Structure 1
Amino acid sequence: MHRRTQPLAAAAVLAATALPAPAASAAPSLATYVLARAGALTITAPAAVSLGNGPPGGQRSALMGTVRVTDTREPGAGAWTATVSSTDYTRTTAPVVTIGRANMSYWSGPATATQGGGTFIPAQPTAASRVTLAVPRTAFSHTAVAGVNNASWNPTLVLSIPFATATAGTYTGVITHSVA
């Protein structure tokens, strides 16, 4: 009988030494990662433009200067639309007088430069297609094609000066280009 207890005791000792040590306290953490598009969709436009001067009842026009959309979003850069809007034009010296934004017209003209795939679409390619800025308008757009792209254009501004309400002075307003 002595022989039987010895192998059992040896097996018990082996089993006890083969058991893993009790686990230490654990605090799992969830790790996340967001894959964002690299790059950006941006628009630049001239800081200022002067339409010169003109008499009541006349029109003043000027090229605004280069507006440029740059799309460096990757992967999957795609469609974008550039929008133009305007404020009213106000003479701030007494008496304060306002020329409404509906008196300002805009036409994008054709692209002066493009890069990348897809189709670049001027919203008002000719003077005959000019629009008033009484409400925000599409200025330029690009069809959905993956890859870095950019477009530039030099829009024309046309201000119709009201005959009855305009008085001499300097009028200031803001034209804003945005892209999404």
Structure 2
Amino acid sequence: MKGFTKDGGIADGRRGFSTAARSRARVTGRTGAALLSAAALATGVAVASPAQAAPVTCAADAPCETAATFDVTAGVLEITVPDTADLGTGTPGSAITGSLGAVSVSDQRASTTPNWTASVISTDFTTGAGGTGQVVPATSITYASGTVTPGAGQTGTCNASTATPLDNTTPITAASHTGGSGNNTCSWNPTLVVTVATTNVAGTYSGTVTHSVTGV
């Protein structure tokens, strides 16, 4: 049963309040939701964008400064060597001189002390079963770096090595870098001189020359 109420609405016996009250309730609900959304946006709760520094405002003719940054990244220290090398041919009692191929060290550590030493070691060279007359020991082979070429624009010094007998247990210095700062590269093509004994037999002699690099 419906009738008029003091607020001008129509009384609804089923609900116990007037249509005007229901209308006001609906309007109030929508307004409250809008206010909550506005408050969430104002406080940044519902905004996922990253925080930014507040802008700086300066008066006319006054310097207006912006603090800026950037990063310089660091890499690794590594060495590159040839996969294979043919040192040449010779007879018993002769010296065989050959180039090993290009060797290079790249130091990308971006260090204040970019020092390193490249070392080299060798196995004995053998042919056949490695029996009598079939071995040329590592100590019968000398290693010399020759000219060590630096990369463009770098600081510090690429240091060469003089002719030194190789060894199969103790590494010798192949080249090094000292001084400067930041990154550097050094490249060289080492010369190996093999002293073939008069007692060595004919054959293809094989061995392994191993380089390594260590930061110091």
Same fold (TM over 0.5): yes
Give CA deviations for 1:124-161 in whole Å, capped at 9, x if unaligned. Answer: 2xxxxx11103421111111332010010111011000
Identify if the C-alpha distance between structure 1 residues 112 and 118 changes in structure 2 by more than 3 Å, giving closer, same or farther. Answer: closer
Q: 2:81 aligns with which of 34, 45, 49?
A: 45
**SS at structure 2 position matched to 1:158:** strand
Does the CA contact (< 8 Å) of 1:56 and 1:162 recur in 2? yes
1:113 Cα shift?
4.0
TM-score scaled by structure 1? 0.70
Match of 2:181 in 1: 146
Q: Does the aligned pair in 1 maintain the 2:145–2:190 contact within 8 Å?
A: yes
- What percentage of aligned pairs have identical amino acids? 40
Please give the root-mean-square deviation of Cα atoms over the aligned residues, in Å. 1.9
Could you say which residue in structure 1 is the equivalent of 2:116? 80
Relative to structure 1, the CA distance from residue 95 to residue 133 in structure 2 (aligned partners, 3 Å threshold; closer, same or farther) is: closer
Residues 81 and 179 in structure 1, CA contact (< 8 A), matched pair in contact too? yes
What TM-score, normalized by structure 2, do the two folds share?
0.59
Following the alignment from structure 2 to structure 1, what is the Cα–Cα distance between the partners of residues 111 and 149? 26
User: In structure 2, do the counterparts of structure 1 residues 77 and 94 end up closer, same or farther at CA, with 3 Å as the change threshold?
Assistant: closer
Residue 108 of structure 1: aligned partner? 145
Match of 2:158 in 1: 120
Contact 1:85 1:137 in 2 (8 A): yes
Runs of 4+ with deviation above 2 angstroms: 74-77, 92-97, 112-115
Secondary structure class of the residue paired with 1:102: helix
Take 1:94 and 1:75, find their aligned partners in 2: how far apart are those partners? 46
CA distance in 2, matches of 1:49, 1:92: 19
Residue deviations 1:27-60, cap 9 Å, x none?
xxxxxxxxxx831100011111112221110111
CA–CA separation in structure 2 for the residues paired with 1:153 and 1:47: 15
Distance in 2 between the 1:137 and 1:62 partners? Answer: 19
Where relative contact order (Cα < 8 A, 6+ residues apart) is larger, the structure is 1
Preserved CA contact (<8 Å) 2:149 2:187: yes
Aligned length: 138
Q: Distance in 1 between matches of 2:202 and 2:110?
A: 51
Q: Which has the larger radius of gyration?
A: 2
Question: 1-side partners of 2:74 and 2:95: how far apart?
Answer: 45
CA distance in 1 between partners of 2:92 and 2:191 (Å): 20
Cα displacement string for residues 47-103 of structure 1 (whole angstroms, at most 9, x for unaligned residues):
111122211101111111111000001343510011111110011347572211011
* Conservation of the 8 A alpha-carbon contact between 1:104 and 1:132: yes
Question: Quick one: distance in 2 between partners of 1:173 and 1:49?
Answer: 10
Secondary structure of residue in 1 paired with 2:182: coil
1:99 aligned onto 2:136: yes
Gap runs ≥5 in structure 1:
1-36, 125-129
Residue of structure 1 equivalent to 2:201: 167
Instruction: Return the alpha-carbon distance in structure 2 between the equivalents of residues 94 and 173 of structure 1.
Output: 11
In 2, the alpha carbon distance for the partners of 1:63 and 1:86 equals 15
Give the unaligned 5+ runs of structure 2: 1-72
